[in-house]
Amino acid sequence: MEKNTLLAIALSAVILIGFSVAQGFMMRKRIASMPPAPPVQENPVPQTMLPPPETPSPFETAVQDVPASVAAPASGPEFEERVTIETDLFTAVLTNAGGDVVSFKLREHSDKDDLVEMVLSGDSEGRAFTIAFGGLNAQPLSSLFHVERESEYSVKFYRDFTIPNSDAQFRLTKKYDFKPRDYMFELTVSLDGGYSIPSFNFGGSAYTLSFGPQIGPRFEKLDNRYDYRQYVTYTNGKRKMEKINTTISTNPKWAAVCGKYFTCIAIPLLAQYDINFSDKPEEGIPSASRLNIVRPPLNSPRLDDTYRFYMGPKNQEILNAYNTGNNSFGLIDMQLIEVSNTRGILNPLEKALKWLLVIFYKLIPNYGIAIILLTLLIKIVFFPLTKKSTEATLRMQALSPKIKELQEKYKDNPQRMNAEMGELYKKEGYNPLSGCLPMLLQFPIFFAMYNLFNNHFDLRGAMFIPGWIPDLSLPEYIVQFPPGFRIPPMGWTYLRLLPFLYLGSQLLYGKVTQTPDQKSNTQMKMMLYAMPLIFFFILYEVPSGLLVYWIFSNLLTMVQQVAIHKYILPRQRAKAANTPTVIAPQKKKKK
């Protein structure tokens, strides 16, 4: 039993440590693979009033990939105008400076003292869905557009541009169509050259449509734990994680910038286009995440390109609506749910745990209480195995003298000793692994719970105890150290209470469940104290919901052990002792 227990504990530690090390290694590898950031450029968009049209636009001088002058804005408005779109789900603010979106706040989701802002700004105001004539190096337009408010949820921006050294003109139009109960909206980009411009080819591209500089909510750093950014495309029924600063020419069904809980998904309804993800920096933002769609040249005097953008939570229920047609656009089989990290061998277990957690939450609307109730249910379900494990441990103690006798007798012949011990186990009807089974079954649940608390959208901001555990998806803390102060060598900046409570519950659990022969074993005593300390450091930065689960799991297991030893096993022994032995009657021999 000692060897099997040590093996199970060591294996568990290796799995958890390997998981933590691999996660950190992959994060460092991804950061190391990123190219050096280009220098920051000033945002050409003024905050309140732009210069009059006769002032040259930055666009006229900044296009690097166009060999000749492209287009200059014709006469237009002289002052900036803002349009606010209010829906049930978000508030969008648009400006006629380029016809861009400068704010997109989600009304049902909070970010500290404000709402989640999907167009995250740095030192200067962010601008999303910009247009640049040309490729990735072209400067976004900042000219003032005419505004036409078509309805409560629809607005159009348009402006005429002229080709230098000619009288040829064309019109650029950007039309936004929002829906009252949908995080998705439609953007139509139109170029109309009339009879004077037969095609649109600005240095090998018609235009580039860009989202940036970053999606919200605001963050201090992207550490792959509190928050992260992933770049995803979906092509021919397969999801692919993309690298930044590379051109993707596979015409994916959609492309997305994904955070831990929120995402921006682009669905170009074009026959051909290129996708590019960029981390081009912005002053005042720790890290930028840009999505660029490059439209190839058009040999026609007119184009009308339609894009759909989803700007909202990575909620599986909401995203699944784009598979079933239950959305404002009637879309089916879009598989936008692929942005929500629902794959993996433990995904069915995660879904089952989430389903149970939601049921308990509906009974008592506190996710901390729901976690405790879920832990209690898991312990009740696994109680027969726990009881069997305890019985196996006691049976092993009874067999210990015989095992030691065999070990001493065949100490010079390991093969014979193993064979004899196998015969002993078979004769006694004992399985050496039966005592370790409940322990091993805990780890799939542990990893499933980790993914659930770390990625599941419904647990974002889920409060347990006000003032201490305001968000079960994040580590709690009781003291935040002053800026610049870290506890070496781990670099901790917070003093957290739950890891210490876990450590205490684990040590107490080991004391309660320790058997008499283990108490006299030096190796087992060392493991009793060493393993909880190792896990203490591993679990220090995990979501608080996971530690709430493990702490109460330890406490409930101790209660079960006390009940088994004090009530159940004595009753079973008494019942067995009072049961008379029945001797089967012998059959008479036939004469």
Q: What is the pLDDT of residue 95?
A: 96
Average pLDDT rounded to a whole number, residues 416-432: 77
pLDDT beyond 80 at 49:
no
Encoded tokens for 551: 């702490």
Q: What is the pLDDT of residue 436?
A: 67
Q: Cα(214)–Cα(285) distance, rounded to whole angstroms?
A: 8
Average pLDDT rounded to a whole number, residues 272-278: 95
Query: Among 240-244, 399-403, 498-502, 533-537, which stretch is predicted with the lowest mean pLDDT?
Result: 399-403
* pLDDT winner (highest mean) among 20-29, 286-295, 456-465: 286-295
Q: What is the pLDDT of residue 33?
A: 43
Q: What is the pLDDT of residue 62?
A: 30
Amino acid code (one letter) for 497:
L
pLDDT beyond 80 at 590:
no
Q: What is the pLDDT of residue 409?
A: 80
Whether the Cβ atoms of residue 340 and residue 314 lie closer than 8 Å to each other: yes
Q: Could you tell me which of 357, 359, 314, 355 has the C-alpha nearest to residue 337?
A: 314
Cis ω for the linkage preceding 213 (within 30 of 0): yes
pLDDT beyond 60 at 37:
no
pLDDT digits (tens, 9 = 90+) for 136-188: 999 999 999 999 999 999 999 999 998 877 778 899 999 999 999 999 999 99
Residue entry with tokens 């999606």: 215
Backbone φ and ψ of 365, nearest 5°? -70, 65
Q: What is the pLDDT of residue 41?
A: 34
Average pLDDT rounded to a whole number, residues 513-525: 64
**pLDDT mean across residues, the chain:** 81
Average pLDDT rounded to a whole number, residues 9-23: 46
Q: What is the pLDDT of residue 264?
A: 97
Question: 3-state DSSP call for residue 199?
Answer: coil
CA dihedral angle for residue 314, residue 315, residue 319, residue 325, rounded to 10 degrees:
-160
Encoded tokens for 580: 């008379």
- Confidence at 327, pLDDT banded by 50, 70, 90: very high
pLDDT beyond 70 at 24:
no
Query: Among 9-13, 31-35, 168-172, 365-369, which stretch is predicted with the lowest mean pLDDT?
Result: 31-35
Q: What is the pLDDT of residue 435?
A: 60
Q: How many CB atoms within 10 Å of residue 432?
A: 15
Angular region, 177: left φ>0, alpha ψ -120 to 50, beta rest? beta
Whether the Cβ atoms of residue 291 and residue 264 lie closer than 8 Å to each other: yes
DSSP string, 260-322: SSEEEEEEE--SS-EEEEE----TT-SS--EEEEEEPPBSSSEEEEEEEEEEEE--HHHHHHH
pLDDT digits (tens, 9 = 90+) for 352-366: 898 899 899 999 999
The residue with greater pLDDT, 18 or 75, is 75
The residue with greater pLDDT, 428 or 292, is 292
pLDDT digits (tens, 9 = 90+) for 290-324: 999 999 998 999 999 999 999 999 988 899 999 99
Q: Could you tell me which of 313, 329, 339 has the C-alpha nearest to residue 254?
A: 339
Average pLDDT rounded to a whole number, residues 236-242: 92
Q: What is the pLDDT of residue 580?
A: 60
Q: Cα(577)–Cα(405) distance, rounded to whole angstroms?
A: 28
Q: Cα(180)–Cα(183) distance, rounded to whole angstroms?
A: 9
Average pLDDT rounded to a whole number, residues 114-123: 92
pTM across the whole model: 0.75
The residue with greater pLDDT, 398 or 317, is 317
pLDDT digits (tens, 9 = 90+) for 89-116: 999 999 999 999 999 999 999 888 899 9
pLDDT digits (tens, 9 = 90+) for 377-396: 988 988 887 777 777 777 77
Q: What is the pLDDT of residue 578?
A: 65
Q: Which domains does the chain have, with CATH numbers?
A: 2-26+346-574 (no CATH), 34-340 (2.70.98.90)
Q: What is the pLDDT of residue 262?
A: 94
The residue with greater pLDDT, 328 or 582, is 328
Q: Cα(566)–Cα(137) distance, rounded to whole angstroms?
A: 76
The residues with which 146 forms a beta bridge, in sequence order, are 158
Q: What is the pLDDT of residue 4?
A: 43
